[in-house]
Amino acid sequence: MLDKIRNKVLSGKRLTEADALKLFQSNDLFPLASLASYVAEEKNGKKAYFVRNRHINPTNICVNRCRFCAFSRSIGQDGAYELTIAEIIKKLKQGRAKSKIPFSEVHIVGGLHPEWPFTYYLELVSTIKKNFPKLHIKAFTAVEIDYFSKISGLSLEETLTSLKRRGLGSMPGGGAEIFAPGIRNRLCPEKISGERWLAVMAAAHKVGLRTNATMLYGHIESYEDRVDHMMKLRRLQDRTGGFQAFIPLAYHPKNTDIQGSYTSGIDDLKTIAISRLYLDNFQHIKAYWVMLGEKISQLALKFGADDIDGTIIEEKITHSAGALTGEQLTAEQLSDLIIKAGRIPVERDSFYRKVRRAQ
Ligand code: V47
Ligand code: SF4
Ligand 2 pocket test target in 71, 75, 192, 215 with most atoms within 8 Å of CB: 71
pLDDT in tens, 44-64: 999 999 999 999 999 999 999
Mean pLDDT of the chain: 97
Task: Supply the pTM of this predicted model.
Answer: 0.98
CA 350 from centroid of its chain's CA atoms? 13
* Rounded-to-integer distance, Cα 287 and Cα 299, Å: 9
Nearest CA owner, ligand 2 atom 6:
65
Average pLDDT over residues 305-324: 96
Q: What is the pLDDT of residue 100?
A: 83
Helix or strand or coil: residue 176? coil
The architecture in CATH of the region 14-51+142-347 reads Alpha-Beta Barrel (3.20)
Ligand 1 pocket test target in 214, 244, 252 with most atoms within 8 Å of CB: 214
pLDDT in tens, 259-303: 999 999 999 999 999 999 999 999 999 999 999 999 999 999 999
Helix or strand or coil: residue 227? helix
The edge-to-edge listing of strands for the beta sheet with 344-347 is 307-310, 47-51, 344-347
Nearest CA owner, ligand 2 atom 2:
111
Nearest CA owner, ligand 2 atom 4:
66
Average pLDDT over residues 214-231: 98
Ligand with minimal distance to 297 CA: 1
Ligand 2 pocket test target in 65, 66, 147, 256 with most atoms within 8 Å of CB: 66
Nearest CA owner, ligand 1 atom 8:
172
Task: Enumerate the domain spans of the chain.
Answer: 14-51+142-347
8 Å CB contact between 138 and 105: yes
Portion of the chain with pLDDT greater than 90, in percent: 96
Q: What is the pLDDT of residue 108?
A: 98
